[in-house]
Amino acid sequence: MQKSLRTWFMMALPLVLAGSLATLAWITRPQSGIPEGREEVVFWHFWGGSDRAVVEDIVDRFNHSQEQYHVRAVAMPGNNLDMKMFLAVTGGDPPDLINQDDPIVADWAHRGALMPLEEIATEEEVRQLEDWLFPAARELGSYQGRLYGLCNGLDIRALYYNRAIIRERTGQPAPERLESIEQLDELATACVLREEGRLTSLGYLPDPRRLWAWGVVFGGRFTDESGKVTCDDPEIVQALQWMVRYRERWGADTLAAFRQGDQSLPGKTFPLLAGRYAIVMDGQWRVRDIPADRSGEFGVWPLPPPAGRTRQAEGWVNGNLFLVPRGCRTPRGAWEFMKFWSGFGGKEAEAARTCSQGGWIPPSQQVVDQPQFQQYLRENPLFARFVQLAAGDQVPTPVIPGARMYYREVNQAAERALYTDNPADAGSLLEAAAHKVQQHLDRIGGRREEP
């Protein structure tokens, strides 16, 4: 039986691939309706829901702003974008532009699937762009000293807090700023709520996915200057040990139950709004989940460092990037659209409108300073706090081949530390993750050079 299934699979695989290639070719090939005399730019993106309407409006504005190119946006939500993109490349008809929020720049560049911006833009444009971008935005798109991606939006993490819960459970108003991680721990303990002997609300619960942020706040770095994997740095181990103290206090089952309950909230409700916590680490996109008439109930704190440590970094950042696949038909048109969306090249006012529509953090201070965006920040003070943090020392996910693997392995190590009774110690878990990822990097010869 197993042999017949293997035989069927081997026979069917070429047909599946051929069908996929045909489908992708249909998606990417020129369509009717392109204005005469224009070159089509096929643009793949991941946005859905209300964000998709914003994307379509940006595309429409660009198409009406000039007469040389016509962008056609194709929503490609879900997983397996790698497979879809490389199938399109194999079929000889990749899209002209992709927007992606996964850390895949180094992987795709290492495999020769991306065009560096120096092959699309002028030398002067590339030089100006490097100065124009926030440092974190520049680093997110760089691999081995070359810009491969243009960041169009940054994602920052900070601590949201509920003023009413803190005041009710501590008898004191919430502080305007946390001075140390120890102060966070004190508030977290004071804000615990039990009903009929059952723990129903926590002050704060560490998320294993956020070791990336806490690790750098504690002073660690996830790669060294040579590109070697260093998630087992003493400072990152210390950060995970701090997170583990919450498991030691409440038990692995309690932490896992709360996390599972968060994921079961209807409509992906922000857990802070459900009253499950007094303090939650999350990104700026959560601001729009908070009703306007309740925004005054909440505040945002930067991530506090351990007591006695001079702040070395504000936290961890990732973002959305434009990437141009090698072999595409209209790279210059892709570049013009990238500039329009991001604001580079004198398009800052357009980008201010775009970021206000989508609730996105601009990649450049020059867009932040635009009057329309400044008005948006005045109307959305919680969001404004994240924008302030974006200009600080935010450490990006390492831009190395295997970055997604690295992200996954670190998260799994933190999950085992938090959700398992009697796991291996934090140092051993992170050392094992570092060894596994470094073996992968050494095998593919993919150590990163600093930009």
Q: DSSP string spanning 222-280? A: SB-TT--B-TT-HHHHHHHHHHHHHHHHH-HHHHHHHHHHHHTSGGG--TTTTTSBSEE
For residues 226 and 163, the model is more confident at 163
* pLDDT score recorded for residue 9: 36
Residue-wise pLDDT tens digits, 58-79: 999 999 999 999 999 999 876 6
Average pLDDT over residues 372-386: 96
Residue 447 pLDDT greater than 50, yes or no = no
Mean pLDDT check: name the lowest of 29-38, 404-413, 442-451: 442-451
The pLDDT mean for the chain works out to 89
Predicted confidence at residue 322, as pLDDT, reads 97
| pLDDT at residue 127, rounded to an integer | 96
pLDDT at 32 over 80: no
With vertex at residue 443, the alpha carbon angle to CA 441 and CA 448, rounded to the nearest 5 degrees, is: 30
Average pLDDT over residues 310-339: 91
Lowest mean pLDDT among 132-141, 154-163, 253-262, 322-331: 253-262
Instruction: Band the pLDDT of 31: cuts 50, 70, 90.
Output: low
Mean pLDDT of 239-267: 91
Residue 399: is its pLDDT beyond 50? yes
**What pLDDT does 297 receive?**
93
Range with the poorest average pLDDT among 2-6, 42-46, 327-331, 381-385: 2-6
Give 148-182 as a 3 state SS string: CEEEEEEEEEEEEEEHHHHHHHHCCCCCCCCCCHH
The domains of the chain, with CATH numbers, are 12-155+318-396 (3.40.190.10), 156-316+398-444 (3.40.190.10)
Q: What is the mean pLDDT of residues 162-189?
A: 95
Q: Residue 214: its pLDDT value, please? A: 97
Mean per-residue pLDDT, 81-100: 82
Name the DSSP class of 117.
G
Distance of CA 223 to the CA centre of its chain: 18
Check residue 448 and give its pLDDT.
39
For residue 320, give the 3-state DSSP assignment.
strand
Alpha helices for 80-210 (secondary structure H):
81-90, 105-110, 123-132, 135-140, 163-170, 181-190
